[in-house]
Amino acid sequence: MIYKKFVRPLLFLKDAEETHEQTLSLLSWLGFFEAALEALFRVEDSRLEVSLGPLSFANPVGLAAGFDKNGKAIAVWPGFGFGFMEIGAVTAQPQPGQPKPRLFRLPGDQALINRLGFNNEGAEAIAAKLEALRANGGPLKIPLGINIGRTKVVATKDAAADYLFTFEKLFPYGDYFTLNVSSPNTPELRDLQQRDHLDTLLAVVQTKNRELAARRGGKEKPVFVKVAPDMDFAQLDEIIEVAESRQAAGIVATNATAFLREKLLTKIDEPGGLSGEPIKALSTAFVRHIYIATKGRLPIIGVGGVFTAEDAYDKIKAGASAVQILTGFVYEGPAAVKRINQGLVELMDRDGAKNIRDVVGSQA
């Protein structure tokens, strides 16, 4: 309430990206207060625990990729009650992204349009930051996912080597990795969703995964594939097949859409990825399709338009083992994750579900 009535109107007065960067800088300093934030925002309830293959999360609500691209506020995210966090997209080379303005709010539609274009500090700088964090603070409080994108100047034919560079650099630090082949803002990136390209990419990453695990005497890291909502189910089926045959850990569904503008109330003509409320149903349909096609074998992280506990519950009932939020966090504010987790417990009580794992795919 306080956020929506008093804080959000002030934050929304300024340019969207400027506000975002200032908020992140402030949050990076809040690391000291993480424990105090936890007391305010974390919901501890064993019924919320989920697992996706080898990964275990204390609750199913994660921070989606793109909010903290450079891992600036990693120490703070557990304080807001997240069960896991995904940083990035990280690319092999540092890059500035597209010209500004490139992030737009659509409050009338509870949506954002972004065409940031993978602005980030690059794999080496982010690896150094994660190394320093580890040296200072030991293990992170919640699992860390790292979203990997393709450097803009690298051609599709050289994409695999580019992803591999980032994967290798960041291998020691991520609890899981997501191959982002679905951002609408890097030219030809989505070509990597085509069967042959994706198969090559996953093959080389998984080979490196095994090699690095053996060299370090540890386990392979779970590797997810993140898909766009802008394809038909026949193409999605091809991705599912490749993901299963290359032992991907699961699918993150979905990224923002390059289309769907006809649904908007806001008059805006800006290219980029549309996220938030307008993509909610579409991304849930993708989750449901993947769950049914794989008979629940392949873990799914559902993302797109989650604002409330009901939204998260719908994605979980459709087959997601966990969800992520980004636009919902911008609109709902710091208590968003707490409200979702509390609401999930209430919905489970209402439905007589013993734990959230039993809800996964219950209405697929």
Ligand X SMILES: Cc1cc2nc3c(=O)[nH]c(=O)nc-3n(C[C@H](O)[C@H](O)[C@H](O)COP(=O)(O)O)c2cc1C
- Residues with a known catalytic role: 183
When the beta carbons of 180 and 353 are compared against ligand X, the nearer one is 180
Which of 206, 187, 165, 177 lies closest to 89, judged by CA?
A: 177
Q: Note whether 275 binds ligand X by CB under 6 A.
A: yes
Question: Nearer Cβ to ligand X, position 180 or 294?
Answer: 180
Counting DSSP H helices and E strands in the chain, the numbers are 13, 13
Q: Does 255 bind ligand X (CB under 6 A)?
A: yes
Q: Which residue is at the shortest CB distance from ligand X?
A: 66
Among 103, 130, 242, 298, binds ligand X (CB under 6 A): 103
Among 66, 119, 97, 15, residue whose Cα is nearest residue 256: 66
Residue 284 lies near ligand X (rule: CB under 6 A): no
List 91, 147, 166, 321, residue binding ligand X (CB under 6 A): 147
Longest Cα–Cα distance of the chain, Å, equals 55
Interface residue with ligand X, options 328, 337, 344, 356 (CB under 6 A): 328
Interface residue with ligand X, options 73, 116, 146, 249 (CB under 6 A): 116
Q: Segment contacting ligand X (CB under 6 A): 110-118, 262-270, 333-341, 345-353?
A: 110-118
Distance CA 194, CA 174 (A): 26
Residue 222: C-alpha distances to residues 146, 206, 247, 342 (Å)? 11, 9, 9, 28
Closest contact distance (angstroms) between CB of 6 and ligand X is 23
How far, in Å, CA of 306 to CA of 347, rounded?
16
Tokens 């934050």 belong to which residue?
11
Task: Verify binding: residue 341, ligand X, rule CB under 6 A.
Answer: no
Say if residues 287 and 236 touch (Cβ distance below 8 Å). Answer: no
Among 88, 117, 222, 319, binds ligand X (CB under 6 A): 88
Q: Of residues 22-81, which lie at the interface with ligand X (CB under 6 A)?
A: 64-66, 69
Burial class of residue 276 in the structure, from the number of CB atoms within 10 Å of its CB (0-12 exposed, 13-18 middle, 19+ buried): buried
Q: What is the DSSP letter of 6?
A: I
Please, which residue, 64 or 239, has the CB nearer to ligand X?
64
Query: Taking CB under 6 A as the rule, does residue 325 contact ligand X?
Result: yes
Contact 84, 57 (CB under 8 A): yes
Counting residues that bind ligand X (by CB under 6 A) gives 28
The beta-strand segments (E) located in 118-210 are 144-148, 176-180
**Are the CB atoms for 324 and 275 separated by under 8 Å?**
no
Judged by CB under 6 A, the residue of 142, 181, 227, 306 near ligand X is: 306
Q: Contact positions toward ligand X, by CB under 6 A? A: 64-66, 69, 88-89, 103, 112, 114, 116, 118, 147, 180, 183, 226, 255-256, 275-276, 279, 303-306, 325-328
